[in-house]
């Protein structure tokens, strides 16, 4: 039995707790939870031991694995402490924000031999996993152009409003946009050129970012993220990719293939797990979260090589998101 200590029982902690409950028959259980807000820890405990802080859990709880769903600026200290205490670690994205944290994470992972995965969940959403296979197989030829979008209304749930303090979260250009930045790196590799523009609020904080990545002399991928949409605006995550022989589109959760010669169709993309978690926030489908934690648990059990979302890759994705921020003029511009 893999014994998990869940640190941070806010929005993402709730998603992870629901996924571990669904995965129990694989041999995994949340046996300890920690949150500085006791009522949040209590809500997710379901019989697990409760700790007042993440560090206390790492020090005292009888767990072999720690799952970190803390605000981003607290990831590194907790991940490093957990690895040094001999635990395996799952840590939410973005793995970290500051450059000095990147080396420390990599060094500690190497020194301790801990098994670590980062919550780059988009890599494990069924439609995105399908697109990765289509790109790798070359069945529609090479990618000619692509566009990836992620739009949301303002996230309001965060503890002490940490999400809207860009030095803690990286703001929308890292926190939300890193999903697509990481995914585009995953399927296309590191871009040769990066251009970006930002729309900022009155305090100079980025609320929307539009970027283009250049590959070679004529392939362009456009990426867009914004979290300042009106209250009723539906959460939107979609893409359109033109290949030499077909264009593929994800829109409204449905994938359509448009072959050059006509005859469009919806490919069968089987979801391994369907489930929702009505805990508020801008994502409710458990599918990708279930997939990523199942992959992590099976990795710990030696059933896969845990190569989908390693720390090293997650760090490169944060670096690329920061390249965009730099290209757009900086994190905060008054």
Ligand X SMILES: NC(=O)c1ccc[n+]([C@@H]2O[C@H](COP(=O)([O-])OP(=O)(O)OC[C@H]3O[C@@H](n4cnc5c(N)ncnc54)[C@H](O)[C@@H]3O)[C@@H](O)[C@H]2O)c1
Bridging pattern class, strands 206-215 and 193-200? antiparallel
Q: Is 8 in the site for ligand X (CB under 6 A)?
A: yes
Residue 124 backbone dihedrals phi, psi, to 5 degrees: -110, 5
Q: Which stretch binds ligand X (CB under 6 A): 8-16, 135-143, 202-210, 309-317?
A: 8-16
Question: Contacting ligand X (CB under 6 A), which of 24, 42, 59, 157?
Answer: 157
241, two tokens: 């990719």
For 21, 34, 36, 123, 177, the CA distances from 180, given in Å and listed in that order, are 28, 30, 31, 9, 6
178, two tokens: 């890193």
Residue 58 backbone dihedrals phi, psi, to 5 degrees: -60, -40
Which 8-state DSSP code applies to residue 234? P
Residue 298 neighbours by CB distance under 10 Å: 16
Question: Contacting ligand X (CB under 6 A), which of 6, 30, 118, 283?
Answer: 283
Question: Contacting ligand X (CB under 6 A), which of 2, 4, 12, 143?
Answer: 12
Interacting residues with ligand X between 175 and 204 (CB under 6 A): 175
Minimum distance from residue 288 beta carbon to ligand X (Å): 8
Binding letters toward ligand X, positions 80-119, x by CB under 6 A: ------------xx-------------------------x
Separation of alpha carbons 140 and 46, rounded Å: 48
Minimum distance from residue 118 beta carbon to ligand X (Å): 10
Q: Is 73 in the site for ligand X (CB under 6 A)?
A: no
* Residue nearest ligand X by beta-carbon distance: 10
Separation of alpha carbons 293 and 124, rounded Å: 10
Question: Contacting ligand X (CB under 6 A), which of 2, 4, 6, 7?
Answer: 7
Residues that bind ligand X (CB under 6 A): 7-13, 34-37, 40, 53-54, 69-72, 74, 92-93, 119, 121, 157-159, 175, 283
């Amino acid at each position: 039995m893999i014994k998990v200590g869940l640190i941070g029982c806010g929005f993402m902690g709730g998603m992870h707790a629901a996924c571990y409950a669904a995965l129990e028959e694989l041999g995994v259980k949340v046996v300890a939870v920690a949150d500085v807000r006791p009522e949040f820890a209590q809500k997710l405990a379901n019989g697990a031991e409760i700790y007042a802080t993440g560090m206390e859990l790492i020090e005292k709880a009888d767990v072999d694995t720690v799952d970190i769903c803390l605000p981003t600026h607290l990831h590194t200290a907790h991940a490093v402490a957990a690895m040094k205490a001999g635990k395996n670690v799952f840590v939410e994205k973005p793995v970290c924000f500051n450059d000095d944290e990147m080396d420390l994470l990599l060094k500690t992972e190497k020194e301790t031999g801990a098994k670590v995965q980062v919550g780059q969940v988009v890599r494990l959403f069924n439609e995105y996993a399908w697109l990765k296979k289509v790109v790798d197989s070359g069945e529609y030829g090479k990618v000619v152009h692509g566009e990836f979008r992620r739009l949301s209304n303002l996230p309001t749930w965060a503890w002490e409003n940490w999400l809207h303090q860009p030095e803690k979260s990286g703001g929308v250009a890292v926190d939300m946009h890193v999903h697509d930045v990481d995914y585009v790196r995953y399927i296309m590799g590191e871009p040769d050129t990066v251009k970006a523009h930002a729309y900022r609020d009155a305090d100079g904080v980025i609320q929307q970012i539009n970027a283009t990545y250049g590959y070679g002399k004529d392939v362009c991928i456009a990426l867009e993220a914004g979290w300042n949409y009106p209250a009723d605006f539906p959460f939107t995550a979609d893409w359109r990719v033109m290949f030499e022989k077909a264009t593929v589109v994800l829109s409204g959760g449905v994938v359509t293939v448009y072959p050059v010669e006509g005859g469009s169709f919806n490919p069968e993309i089987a979801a391994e797990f369907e489930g929702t978690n009505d805990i508020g926030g801008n994502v409710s489908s458990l599918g990708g979260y279930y997939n990523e934690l199942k992959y992590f648990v099976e990795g710990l059990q030696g059933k896969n090589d845990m190569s989908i979302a390693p720390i090293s890759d997650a760090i490169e994705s944060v670096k690329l998101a920061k390249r965009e921020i730099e290209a757009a003029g900086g994190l905060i511009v008054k």
